[in-house]
A = this chain, B = another copy of it.
């Protein structure tokens, strides 16, 4: 038997300062990324405003997502998913500081 090439739960260094982004697919305007956070969050006042649609899943850890104009934060536990249509202004308000939060993000463009 052979083993598959990339494991979402491995290859995470013991220490890192910035979010780790591994690009797994980048083809035909579709991008799949594994992102690892350990306490990182978007700067206050910063909003992502993307031309691509995005679908995210938190596979491990915990994160809080803030959507512009929405009062309640979205709490993402392991397994939780969230769809961010293009130009949904959002930021990562918080990620767990003492464990790895592993995200899977799928980005795509409308034709």
Task: Enumerate chain A interface residues (CB-CB to B < 8 A).
Answer: 1-10, 24-25, 27-30, 32, 53, 55, 57, 59, 64, 72-83, 104, 106, 108-111
Contacts and interface: CB of A to CB of B under 8 A. Distances in A.
A82 B13 CA distance: 22
Copies per assembly:
2
B53 A2 contact: no
A52 to B, nearest CB: 10
A4 B78 CA distance: 11
A57 to B, nearest CB: 6
Contacts of A4: 74-76, 80-82
Contacts of A6: 80-81
Nearest to A73: B1
